[in-house]
Amino acid sequence: MRATNTITVALTGASGLPYGLRLIDCLLAAGRRVWVLYSQAAQVVAKQEMDLTLPSRPAEFERWLAEHHQPADGQLKVFGREEWFAPVASGSNPADAMVVCPCSMGTLAAIALGTSDNLIERAADVSIKEGRKLILVPRETPLSAIHLEHMLKLARLGVVILPPSPGFYTHPQSVADMVDFVVARLLDQLGIEHQLLPRWGE
């Protein structure tokens, strides 16, 4: 598996922001460089789900993340939704992998259609065209035929569709345990070692 040294994490307006923030935490702890993108809707969800007020300015959000995660110099960078000179906007300097977590159905549809109206959609488009790993974490239920058709189209292009479906065979004792189950599956897809949960049969 290709080494994933730089990972783009995009936070959108679907429910499930704790998954995305925990993933950023684990990636930084694993020594990976992380580029963060986020939508205005993600800020709304953060307030609703976690009572967090995420800064609107990328530089302020970057400082907020740095205070909570203590990354090394140059390890963390947050980009604005229309920051078209960001590395992720070009196939000449893409991340090794990208995870949209959580992924709203609107973002998923835009990625499937290749609209690239903002930096999240463009970064995903770049990941696909450059053959880099792209993982989408769609959080919606029930799923309509439109949602499923978009997912099938992307899966046929090699995009990983990873719904946040925690298993219960690990006997989770808290919401944090259930979040870690999903994040562990994401880290597995990225080829990053972790100790978030026991392996099946071990």
Q: Give the mean model confidence (pLDDT) for residues 164-193.
A: 96
For residues 99-123, give the mean pLDDT.
Answer: 97
Around 8, how many Cα atoms within 13 Å sit in the side-chain half-sphere?
31
Q: What is the pLDDT of residue 69?
A: 87
Whether the pLDDT of residue 3 is over 90: the answer is no
Task: Enumerate the known binding-site residues for FMN.
Answer: 13-15, 39, 104-107, 139
Could you tell me if 163 and 138 are in contact, meaning their C-beta atoms sit under 8 angstroms apart?
A: yes
Nearest to 102 by CA among 38, 195, 193: 38
DSSP three-state, residue 10: strand
Q: Distance (Å, rounded) from C-alpha 190 to C-alpha 27?
A: 10
Binding residues are 13-15, 39, 104-107, 139, 169, 185
Structure token pair of residue 127: 């990941």
What's the whole-number mean pLDDT along residues 16-22?
97
Q: What is d(CA 103, CA 180) in angstroms, rounded to the nearest whole number?
A: 17
Q: What is the mean pLDDT of residues 89-109?
A: 96
Share of the chain above pLDDT 90, in %: 92
The reported pLDDT for the residue numbered 4 is 66
pLDDT at 1: 42
Model confidence over 28-63: pLDDT tens digits? 999 999 999 999 999 999 999 999 999 999 999 999
CB neighbour list of residue 141: distance below 8 Å, 6 or more residues apart: none
- Say how many CA atoms lie within 13 Å of 5 toward its Cβ: 4
Q: Residues 68, 69, 70, 75: is their CA dihedral positive or negative? A: negative
**pLDDT value at residue 141:** 95
Q: Domains of the chain: which residue ranges?
A: 6-190
For residue 200, pLDDT beyond 80: yes
Kindly state the tokens that stand for 145.
Answer: 């035929």
The pTM for the full model equals 0.95
CA 1 to chain centre: 19
Q: What secondary structure does DSSP assign to 37-103, as a single string? A: EE-HHHHHHHHHHH-----SSHHHHHHHHHHHH-PPTTSEEEE-TT-TTSGGGSTTS--SEEEEEEE
pLDDT at 175 over 60: yes
Backbone angles phi, psi at 33, to 5 degrees: -85, 135
| Binding residue numbers for dimethylallyl phosphate | 169, 185
Tokens of 192: 């990053």
> Would the pLDDT of 126 be above 60?
yes
CATH number of 6-190: 3.40.50.1950
